[in-house]
Amino acid sequence: MSLSKEPILELSDMAEFNHLVRQHPEKVIVLDFFATWCGPCKAIAPLYRELAIEYKGVIFCKVDVDEAEDLCAKYDVKMMPTFVFTKNGETLETLEGGVEEELRRKVREHSLAASSSAVAH
């Protein structure tokens, strides 16, 4: 899997996620666990896409909870939407719920932390 022109990747299982991590161990990866029938997921989707376009140094992914059971189990997803911030396969933070300002703040924080650690190396 390579980064396409589409700002958000769709992951369907753990193997795809692991492949992405191996390709980009230095990047923050945000996983958006959603369901097609979830109202709050639909409501926050435009912001998630906007953030994916704005923060080019972060990889944004969508994970359909009805299809990617292995990823849901690994990250203990109990509600939608759930956003999991990872780097090199390690969980940095989990954000549950569709609070737009909180999602925006967390993406900004993790993007800044990733870029400052890249500069430090």
* Residue 72 a catalytic site member: no
Catalytic residue (choose from 21, 35, 38, 99): 38
Task: Tally the residues of the chain.
Answer: 121
Give the number of other CB atoms < 10 A from CB of residue 10: 14
Catalytic residue (choose from 41, 65, 72, 80): 41
The residues facing 59 across adjacent strands are: 29
Give the number of other CB atoms < 10 A from CB of residue 1: 12
Tokens for 8? Answer: 């958000």
Catalytic residue ranges: 38, 41
